[in-house]
Amino acid sequence: MTHVSVRAPRAEVVMLCLFDGEVETRVPMVRPGNGERDDWFADAPPPGTRYGLRAHGEWAPEQGLWFDPAKLLVDPRAFELDRAFQYSPALSEYGVDTAGLVPRAVMPGALMEVPLCAPIFKRGGLIYEVNVRGLTMLHPDVAQAQRSTVAALAHPAVLAHLEKLHVSAVELMPITAWIDERHLPPLGLRNAWGYNPVVPMALDPRLCPGGVAELRETVAALHARGIGVILDLVFNHTGESDVLGPVLSFRGLDNAAYAHAPDGSLINDTGCGNTLDFAQPAVRALVIESLRHFVRHCGVDGFRFDLATVMARGPGFAADAPIFAEIAADPWLADRVMIAEPWDIGPGGYQLGRFPSHWLEWNDRYRDDVRRFWRGDAGVGLLATRLAGSSDIFGKDCRAVNYLAAHDGFTLADALAYAERHNHANGEDNRDGQAENFSWNNGMEGPSDDPAVLARRAALARAMLGTLFVSTGTIMLTAGDEFGRSQLGNNNAYAQDNAVTWIDWENRDRALEDHVAALAAWRAARDLAQFPQSGDWRALDGAPMDAARWENQATQGFRWTEKKEAARPTGLQVDRAASYAGPRAG
């Protein structure tokens, strides 16, 4: 790298701020072309130098102008930071210097480039959703100093667990640097998930203290075991939030990166106060640069995009949005795994089934309909559609990522133990989180020592996991659901950086874990990426499942018998094709 550049088209002056300890030296940046260019430039300092930016100009937030030279700003293109973000009201106060609060970017040297190879992950495999800190924080075999880091994923004990489950790829919840939402510190809470990033490429030093090299080495270790790596990235908003939020990077340099309504107000299609504007070529270019960086320098297999509908807004959703073509045309990205969370909260935000044909999509209809079937309020015909790849949504393209539970919502165990959410610990009077979870408590809300209740829950967990592992398409399992992880009924545990989200390895249900491992071994030996043929489905009596059998009222749903000691499911149980002899979906 020979220079530092930053986009700040409406700034009057931009300073490159170099730090030697707490001593700051400011170097004026230049704007070539007599101010006609949007980017400012300065010679790059030596690798390892800590630096930030300051931008001078008008302070008129009502006009989208947030220039305040007292605010130290993070380079939007930073790869590494020297410390984590910490929230303070001073970050929003005009004229208050924030050099003591904001991380400094670390000037990179020449980054190692990973040879471009085809992704290890293939459609139809098992994605294992991982909160890096939650997975490893209490792992008894991982050294204390390594717990909660990306490097811990390469520990032999963690790798052995992933291999036991025949994991095709780990999907890492955000590992780029984030800041706590401003309402959390007064409550004594911290963001535990990372879905509040500031800049797109900078790794969070709490999770990845070794920076780019740590991520690259961990990816290589997983690849050596045949396990791909998918990064969950947040390009829909940043931690600068609404008009009361902090000035950290984009807001103080180029606030036009956020989508604005005609009256100048911030559009909030994310529920987080702001929305990145993918109608802006500069925003798309930075996103492409970010994706390319993680492939070129870390070797990742693909990406999952949080609230991905935002990426195709301009402002309305467009199935042929420019970002899709730009990703497909990039030689580093064209063959990567792309997974959409196909919704946001804006107008027309639910877009399941409308992303490009080479993308996968989180299929929340699968989650809801499978839960409803096993709860007893949905029919076998609808279950069959979900088992067979949701052709009613995806047509002939089997692009579904099917799941029973994800980080957002009840865990699988909690979906069988709680009829209502219990989010009081989040400090929002139990108003946050999804109200309808299609869950049921099987006779008692929360923990129980009733043998009959426990038996029902255990049998249902196995039935639902069996359903997942015989389903057509790609499947996803959230870490810990294979052995009964609970969040005590909290279905929005984003603010619980504690034992609620830290996986309890010592007390896990090892029998359930072994059961899931057997299901995973069965699935790994078969190709379930494509839609099954109509003759592939048979009832337990061996007869083919025709339309009449699927819709027969006698086989609608699932019920427990009234006699508790006989607690066995009634109704239809379906085996996958005769050629797929193995676990039952019921």
Instruction: Give the count of alpha carbons within 13 A of 406, CB side only.
Output: 24
Structural domain contains residue 414: no
Which of 306, 482, 497, 575 is the catalytic position? 306
Beta-bridge partners for 17: 26, 52
Looking at the fold, whether 363 and 217 belong to one and the same domain comes out as yes
- For residue 98, which of 70, 121, 67 has the smallest C-alpha distance? 70
CA 266/CA 286 separation, integer angstroms: 20
Looking at the fold, whether 400 and 322 belong to one and the same domain comes out as yes
Looking at the fold, whether 260 and 303 belong to one and the same domain comes out as yes
Residues in the chain: 586
List, in sequence order, every beta strand (DSSP E) within 198-284: 228-233
Q: Which domain holds residue 557?
A: 539-580
Structural domain contains residue 145: yes
The per-residue pLDDT for 13 is 97
> What is the chain's pLDDT, residue by residue, as a tens digit (586 residues)?
478 999 999 999 999 999 999 999 999 999 987 767 899 999 999 999 999 999 999 999 999 999 999 999 999 999 999 999 999 999 999 999 999 999 999 999 999 999 999 999 999 999 999 999 999 999 999 999 999 999 999 999 999 999 999 999 999 999 999 999 999 999 999 999 999 999 999 999 999 999 999 999 999 999 999 999 999 999 999 999 999 999 999 999 999 999 999 999 999 999 999 999 999 999 999 999 999 999 999 999 999 999 999 999 999 999 999 999 999 999 999 999 999 999 999 999 999 999 999 999 999 999 999 999 999 987 788 898 999 999 999 998 899 999 999 999 999 999 999 999 999 999 999 999 999 999 999 999 999 999 999 999 999 999 999 999 999 999 999 999 999 999 999 999 999 999 999 999 999 999 999 999 999 999 999 999 887 665 566 666 777 777 777 666 555 444 433 333 333 333 333 333 322 222 222 2
Provide the 3-class DSSP secondary structure of residue 531.
coil
Looking at the fold, whether 367 and 353 belong to one and the same domain comes out as yes
Looking at the fold, whether 174 and 322 belong to one and the same domain comes out as yes
CA 481/CA 495 separation, integer angstroms: 20
- Boundary-marking domain end, from 78, 106, 134: 106
- For residue 270, which of 313, 327, 325, 332 has the smallest C-alpha distance? 313
Integer-rounded Cα radius of gyration of the chain: 25
Q: Which residues 6+ apart lie within 8 Å of 544 measured at CB?
A: 535, 537, 538
The per-residue pLDDT for 540 is 62
Q: How far is CA 271 from CA 130, 275, 300, 387, 515, in A?
A: 23, 9, 29, 32, 39
Beta-bridge partners for 230: 171, 302
Structural domain contains residue 220: yes
Structural domain contains residue 586: no
CA 41/CA 14 separation, integer angstroms: 9
Burial of 529 (0-12, 13-18, 19+ CB in 10 A): middle
**Is 129 tagged catalytic?**
no
Looking at the fold, whether 132 and 182 belong to one and the same domain comes out as yes
Assess whether the previous peptide bond of 32 is cis (omega < 30° from 0): no
Domain count of the fold of the chain: 3
For strand 574-575 and strand 538-539, is the pairing parallel, antiparallel, or unpaired? Answer: antiparallel
Looking at the fold, whether 16 and 134 belong to one and the same domain comes out as no
- Boundary-marking domain end, from 106, 136, 159: 106
List, in sequence order, every beta strand (DSSP E) within 428-580: 474-478, 538-539, 574-575
Looking at the fold, whether 150 and 234 belong to one and the same domain comes out as yes
Looking at the fold, whether 519 and 557 belong to one and the same domain comes out as no
Task: Give the type of residue at 191.
Answer: N
CATH number for the domain that contains residue 51: 2.60.40.10
The per-residue pLDDT for 568 is 32
The per-residue pLDDT for 186 is 96
Cβ neighbours of 60 (radius 10 Å): 10
Looking at the fold, whether 521 and 553 belong to one and the same domain comes out as no
List, in sequence order, every beta strand (DSSP E) within 364-509: 400-403, 474-478
Structural domain contains residue 362: yes
Q: Is 217 in contact with 307 (CB distance < 8 Å)?
A: no
Structural domain contains residue 434: no
Structural domain contains residue 417: no
Ordered alpha helix ranges (H), 138-237: 156-164, 211-224
Looking at the fold, whether 76 and 179 belong to one and the same domain comes out as no
Structural domain contains residue 573: yes
Looking at the fold, whether 34 and 101 belong to one and the same domain comes out as yes
CATH number for the domain that contains residue 357: 3.20.20.80
**Is 306 tagged catalytic?**
yes
Q: How far is CA 248 from CA 59, 277, 296, in A?
A: 15, 18, 27
The per-residue pLDDT for 35 is 66
Which of 171, 232, 277, 341 is the catalytic position? 341
